[in-house]
Amino acid sequence: MNVYLKNFIRQTFENRGKALDLGAGGMRDVAWLKRGGWRAWGVDIKTGVDLENVYLSPDRPFDLVFSNYVLHKLRNRRNLIETARRNLKKDGWFFLHTFDRSDKNSSSALTVATVRSLLRSGFKKVSVRKFLLYDNEPGHKHWHVILEVRAQRSSENKKVRSSLSRLVSKQVKKNQRAPVPRSPS
């Protein structure tokens, strides 16, 4: 289990909910969540889900969507972010770990700025941090440079609603200035 994800869940959620793991691999994180009382699902190329394409779970919406060490492998990175956004409920949380471009043990091209740009619409409270993590797995024993994302889904049509609100305000002002038609006497 990703200890950073575990801490994020404990800090963020008062109640257990529904979670979706994008790139679940061996389903270890899904199993941990289920043991903890969460309703959890995982998808991966092994389960027949290609995350190069936007995936909509039949079990959505979710309180939490997360992905560990998948984003840097994808050509269509925006599709993973869109998959997370579209599977989250309003105000649901997205958690992501991936490798930074400066990581000498991966082939990532991602930076804090590129990840932040992927999250510029559809999310609020976006936090992206970079840190060092020692990989103690057998056969590894080296340092990684990790990017961690925490973001909350914002309302779907914030821009549309804002534009509509401005348009309605202009129309109301225009109507207030218009002369009131008089009825013939």
DSSP letter at 15? S
pLDDT at residue number 168: 44
Q: Which residues contact 11 (CB under 8 A, 6 or more apart)?
A: none
Give the residue numbers spanning the domain of 75: 3-177
The enclosing domain of 58 has a CATH number of 3.40.50.150
Q: Are residues 143 and 94 in contact, defined by beta-carbon separation less than 8 angstroms? A: no
CA distance 158 to 148: 25
- Residue 126: inside a domain, yes or no? yes
Reading the block at residue 102, the tokens are 């400066």
Q: How many CB atoms lie within 10 A of CB 66?
A: 27
Q: With the C-alpha atoms ordered 46, 136, 145, 33, is the resulting torsion angle positive or negative?
A: positive
- Residue 45: inside a domain, yes or no? yes
pLDDT in tens, 76-97: 999 999 999 999 999 999 999 9
CA distance 83 to 96: 13
Taking 70 as the pLDDT cut, the residues of the chain under it are 156-185
- Residue 183: inside a domain, yes or no? no
- Residue 70: inside a domain, yes or no? yes
Give pTM, 2 decimals: 0.83
Strand 39-43 and strand 18-22: pairing? parallel
Q: Please count the structural domains in the chain.
A: 1
DSSP letter at 36? T
CA distance 92 to 63: 5
pLDDT at residue number 178: 43
pLDDT at residue number 1: 87
Reading the block at residue 113, the tokens are 């700025």
- Residue 184: inside a domain, yes or no? no
- Residue 182: inside a domain, yes or no? no
Residue type, 167: L
Count helices and strands (H / E) in the chain. 5, 6
- Residue 14: inside a domain, yes or no? yes
Place of tokens 């575990």: 6
- Residue 120: inside a domain, yes or no? yes
Residue 172's SS3 state is: helix
